[in-house]
Amino acid sequence: MSGHAGVHAGGRVAGGAPATRLSVNGRPVEVRAPGGRRLLDVLRVDLGLTGTKEGCGEGECGACAVILDGRAVNACLVPLCQAAGREVLTVEGLAVDGRLDALQSAMLAAGGVQCGICTPGLLVTARAFLDARASGQPVTDAGIREAIAGNLCRCTGYVRVVDAIRLAADGRTSPMAAPAATRDGPGPGWVPVGGVDTTIAGATTDTAEGGAALDADPDAVSPSTLDDALALLAAGGLRPLAGGTDVLVERMARTATDAGYLDLSRLPDLRGIDLEDGALVLGAATTFGELRRSPLVADVAPVLATMAAHVGAAQVQERATIGGNIATASPAGDSLPVLLALDAAIVVLGPRGERTVPAASFFPAYRRTALAPDELIISVRVPRVDGRTAVFRKVARRRAQAISVVSIAVAWQVDEGRWHDVRVALGAVAPTPIRTRATERVLEGGTPGEALAGRAADALAGEIAPIDDVRSTAAYRRAVAGRILHRIVVDAARR
């Protein structure tokens, strides 16, 4: 495979795992391990950096958070191949010259640490949050709480953690001397493999003795051209891997045993957000974090940013891509009803050429798509429609890190006070995301207000046939879907 032009595979070691180079806490590191090995295992097992903790192992708890090229991510969901050539900052890298940084000091001063298992993840997540804010931008408690919503803490109740981050943001704490274990090197809790000096420049580690709890790490190939990617896909045996937030969770749950990954993260054709021929074009590898930050999205289809803010929490949003959300085709996938409501189309490419498939016909059955096994999703096209309004609402068990119980996206235009071109799409109420055409007909030509809202809610409750499952009951889903639509229509009357 390394013979393919444009295939990034790191340096191959004869008879051994590929060598991957990255920077950890400012120091160059070379790791010999399969590209599908979790960054978390590389840090803890191969490099002895056990400050990064493992809690859930599937992106839910934030204990393993590290900063990857400036963004907080969960190291349990980052394959080594996607850390190649990038900067990783772990909790061990926060202290400077033997002094805890202002955030660490504030955490101690405010009493934000009890058992401590969540603390490294909270510290690096908060550090990424504070580093990313523009200078002078106020740090609100709501902003802090949103930033750390993916970091579970059983002990503190968060009040003191939020206090600590606010103190650090206000510059009201000064760095303090680090405890001896940090200042003088490994303390009693460290279990370095081959000694911590293996992390210094030029040194290598080999994971043959690595103690990962999972089965053998899959290999990964990282092509940098679409031609190479399609050839590798056609050859078989490799599963496309974008942000890995589904793929690595499936591996952890052992619902998938992939022998190898086709890493899509180095394909420039899958990246970027542009306006082309009257459509907003989102590269398939666009993350939800990028959707939230894009001025173009805010201008053309701000509902996409609203939706993106509801996917998982910050660390998931920085990894999860829109292409992966579409390919997974979960009926609860949050982007799907929005794409239906916006009349989006999915652009796919394979050996037979390029196809553009309307989102409305992309999801034929439960977790099935119109994608052939040898095709990749390249981009998503969202037509620009001046004067269109679109909203997204999601009901879930809690605000962050929760799969939708019901999601709903509604788009419409207004002419002389009446709605037209109405689209109503729902997630998590059927085996696939759906458009509710009967409800749309009720709304089409209507004047928003209580009367129209009531008729539309009744129509919707009669049109959907949700099921009972672990997250909710059919009766609740039907009732809540109607109530949300009612609220959307009534709110529209007040705009």
Ligand X SMILES: Cc1cc2nc3c(=O)[nH]c(=O)nc-3n(C[C@H](O)[C@H](O)[C@H](O)COP(=O)(O)OP(=O)(O)OC[C@H]3O[C@@H](n4cnc5c(N)ncnc54)[C@H](O)[C@@H]3O)c2cc1C
| Contacting residues toward ligand X, per CB under 6 A | 58-60, 239-247, 249, 264, 284, 311-312, 316, 319-321, 323-325, 327-328, 333-334, 371, 376-377, 401, 403
Q: Which is nearer to ligand X, 36 or 48 (CB)?
A: 36
- Spatial CB neighbours of 49, under 8 Å, sequence gap ≥ 6: 24, 25, 43, 90, 92, 199
- Interface with ligand FES by CB under 6 A: which range of 6-14, 49-57, 249-257, 386-394? 49-57
Q: In what order do the strands lie in the sheet with 239-241?
A: 7-8, 219-223, 260-263, 239-241
7, 24, 31, 63: which one binds ligand FES (CB under 6 A): 63
Give the integer Cα–Cα distance in Å for 128 and 462.
46
Nearer to ligand FES, 56 or 139 (CB): 56
Q: If 0-12 CB within 10 Å is exposed, 13-18 middle and 19+ buried, where does residue 154 land?
A: exposed
User: Which residue number, 81 or 169, has a Cβ lying nearer to ligand X?
Assistant: 81
Q: Is 114 in the site for ligand FES (CB under 6 A)?
A: yes
Stretch that binds ligand FES, among 109-117, 297-305, 401-409, 435-443 (CB under 6 A): 109-117
> Which partner from the list ligand FES, ligand X, none does 156 bind, CB cut-off 5 to 8 Å by kind?
ligand FES
State in angstroms the smallest separation of the CB of 78 from ligand FES.
Answer: 10
Q: What does DSSP say about strands 87-89 and 376-383: parallel, antiparallel, or unpaired?
A: unpaired
Among 56, 139, 256, 360, binds ligand FES (CB under 6 A): 56
Task: By CB under 6 A, tell whether 57 contacts ligand FES.
Answer: yes
- Closer of 100 and 252 to ligand X (Cβ): 252
Please report whether residue 10 would count as binding ligand FES according to CB under 6 A.
no
Stretch that binds ligand FES, among 150-158, 287-295, 373-381, 484-492 (CB under 6 A): 150-158
Task: Tell whether residue 54 is a contact of ligand FES (CB under 6 A).
Answer: yes
Residue 297, φ and ψ in degrees, nearest 5: -65, -45
Residue with nearest beta carbon to ligand X: 324
Site for ligand FES contains 246 (CB under 6 A): no
User: Does residue 118 bind ligand FES (CB under 6 A)?
Assistant: yes
Task: Please say which residue, 93 or 337, places its beta carbon nearer to ligand X.
Answer: 337
56 touches which of ligand FES, ligand X, none (CB within 5 to 8 A by kind)? ligand FES
Closest to ligand X by CB, 218 or 240: 240
**Using CB under 6 A, which of 12, 27, 133, 154 touches ligand FES?**
154
239 C-beta neighbours (distance < 10 Å), count:
16
State the Cα–Cα distance between residues 445 and 238, nearest whole angstrom.
50
- Is 88:22 a contact under the CB 8 Å cutoff? yes
Plot region of 453 (φ>0 → left; ψ -120 to 50 → alpha; else → beta): alpha
Q: Using CB distances below 5 to 8 A depending on partner kind, what does residue 61 bind out of ligand FES, ligand X, none? A: ligand FES
Minimum CB separation from ligand FES for residue 59, in Å? 5
d(CA 428, CA 392): 14
Give the number of residues written for the chain.
495
12 forms part of the interface with ligand FES (CB under 6 A): no
Q: Are 485 and 453 in contact (CB under 8 A)?
A: yes
47 binds, among ligand FES, ligand X, none (CB under 5 to 8 A by kind): none
Assess 117 for contact with ligand FES (CB under 6 A).
Answer: yes
Q: Among residues 153 and 267, whose Cβ is nearest to ligand FES? A: 153
Rounded CA Rg of the chain: 24
Q: Is 153 among the residues that bind ligand FES (CB under 6 A)?
A: yes
Using alpha carbons, select from 406, 409, 426, 392 the residue that is nearest to residue 309: 392
For ligand FES, the binding residues (CB under 6 A) are 54-57, 59-64, 74, 76, 113-118, 153-156
